[in-house]
A and B are shown apart, each in its own frame.
Chain A
Amino acid sequence: MDIYLVEAIINGILLGGVLALLALGLNLIFGVMDVVWICYADIVMCGMYAIYFLYVQYGVPLPLTFVIAIVGVSGLGVLVHLLIIAPVLDSPPLNQLLATGGLLFFLQSFATLMFGTDFRNIGVRLPVLEIAGMYVSFARLIAFAVGLIGAVALYFFLKRTYVGTAIRAIAQDREIVALMGIDQRRVYIVVSAIGGALAGLAACLLALQYDVHPFIGNTFGPVIFIICVLGGLGNMIGGFIAAFVISQIIAIGGYYGSTELSYVFAFTFFIILMLIRPRGLFAP
């Protein structure tokens, strides 16, 4: 097999790690609250700006910057929930969509106003590994590993702890959990904080690979969204697998065509699949 194709496939798998992390966050929030955070990728953008300014402008050490970003974006997730989602929790889905969609435009415009449209890079150059003549970015390798660790940690949290089990229960029956002594509003806040933390973690991983600008959310926001729909909205494992399917299409599409064309391939695949399996890849 062509060595460049193998390289593309490996890079596709590595790209899937970060996408999977974001798909998990979006799915977790949707599964529990039945609300899609259309602005999820733009929350990641906020995290990337925080990393850029803390590290480049204020000279905060990178590891500390990452911790602050994760905690900060987690807090931002809670704020988004309390200020924007909570008031429309019982409203029709369209209103919820408009609310989170409105936040998307707000965040993009706010970032443009504050920071301009410059592309900014934190300037950390991680080495590129050469394995058997193939080039693999170390930043991507880290992103993949951390993404996977995050996914596994989330799995054990949901599977093994009382709060995690309560989160899965509330996704299945919102009203009745109160009879077991669970305060739904508190679970929503916990879930929003976790969703925010995952976005913050993704911001750290992406800041190592990409420039940040006000519209970076547009480049991967729609991709995360189609991943979630493909895996079945709210289906965590489905979304996790779909992330790797889509990242592979993007990587191989990029090899045969171009980067721009690869997204065309991914969305075409998505549209065709929606016609055949409207409820996602893994719907029964």
Chain B
Amino acid sequence: MLSLATVSAGYGSFQALFGVSLEVSRGEAVGVIGPNGAGKTTLMRVISGILPMRQGAMTLEGHSIGGMPAHRVVEQGIAHVPENRRLFPRLSVEENLRVGAFIPSARARFSERLDWVYDLFPRLKDRRNQLAGTMSGGEQQMCAIARALMSKPKVLLMDEPSAGLAPLVVAQVFELVRKIRAEGLTVLIVEQNVQQVLEVVDRAYLLEVGAIKLSGTATELKGNSFIRESYMGL
């Protein structure tokens, strides 16, 4: 469904990604793991179009999305939950969701989407009129995911959804990821929390210094001695 072929990207004279290729099939949940500074966030930014790709090819359902500006990528069906959530803190929860439904196809079915998202995250319905910036970290992550879901994406990109959250809340966030998967969405998730992410994804890629080092099913990677030693501390 989503396919990257030898994609390179960077900032100024600094190259962050070197010929990354990856594949996500319909209905699949795929993880990208790796250390800090490996280029995981850059990868997400390139897919959603915030950062232009320098080389390579990117397609969604066979249509090229390489070089497309971010606001058009959303219309193609890719929604990105950014690192650190990046909610609009002085807008209410529901206003955040309304911004998430900005594209014409989502506006037309706003109330339907809103009901769906509130069904998925009842907590947000209770907090609909609260300013997003005043909620707890876990609730904010919930709101950030809901905002992305408002556009009715085919593929959901999640960048470090567990970052900066208390361990108990982290478990809840991964529970949300399971819930979203159950809705049939295709998910690409970037995480440093290797142990937990391998529990919710089908397959994963290991990204190190901007290149894919390893890939395999979650079960394979959980058994891989290099991953166990370097990333799971086992």
Contacts and interface: CB of A to CB of B under 8 A. Distances in A.
B88 A182 contact: no
B179 interface: no
Given A172-B88, A172-B89, A175-B50, A182 B71 contact: yes
Given A173-B86, A175-B50, A180 B100 contact: yes
A162 interface: yes
B99 interface: yes
A169 to B, nearest CB: 5
B70 A172 contact: no
Contacts of A178: 49-50, 69-71
B69 A169 contact: no
Contact of A180 (B69, B89, B102): B102
B82 A176 contact: yes
B69 A183 contact: yes
Nearest to B84: A176
B9 interface: no
Given A172-B89, A178-B49, A181-B151, A165 B71 contact: no
Interface stretch (B25-33, B73-81, B118-126, B210-218): B73-81
Interface stretch (B90-98, B169-177, B226-234): B90-98
Contacts, number: 64
Given A173-B86, A175-B50, A176-B86, A181 B91 contact: no
Q: How large is the interface on B (under 10, 10 to 19, 20 to 34, 35 or more residues)?
A: 20 to 34
B80 A172 contact: no
B69 A179 contact: no
A166 interface: yes
A180 B147 contact: yes
Interface string A44-78: 00000000000000000000000000000000000
A165 B91 contact: yes
Given A165-B95, A172-B89, A172-B90, A179 B48 contact: yes
Contacts of A184: 71
A177 interface: yes
A162 B102 contact: yes
Given A162-B102, A180-B99, A169 B88 contact: yes
Interface residues of A, number: 17
Contacts of A181: 71-72, 74-75, 102-103, 106, 151
Interface in B34-78: 48-50, 69-72, 74-75
A7 to B, nearest CB: 40
Contacts of B86: 173, 176
B50 A168 contact: no
Contact of A179 (B80, B90, B96, B98): B80
B128 interface: no
Contact of B74 (A165, A168, A175, A180): A180
A166 B69 contact: no
Contacts of B91: 165, 168-169, 172
Interface of B: 48-50, 69-72, 74-75, 79-80, 82, 86, 88-91, 95-96, 98-103, 106-107, 147-148, 151
26 contacts: A162-B98, A162-B101, A162-B107, A165-B95, A166-B99, A166-B102, A168-B88, A168-B90, A168-B91, A168-B95, A169-B99, A172-B91, A173-B86, A176-B82, A178-B49, A179-B79, A179-B80, A179-B148, A180-B71, A180-B74, A181-B72, A181-B102, A181-B103, A181-B106, A182-B71, A182-B102
Given A173-B86, A180-B103, A181-B74, 4 more contacts: A162-B102, A169-B95, A179-B80, A181-B102
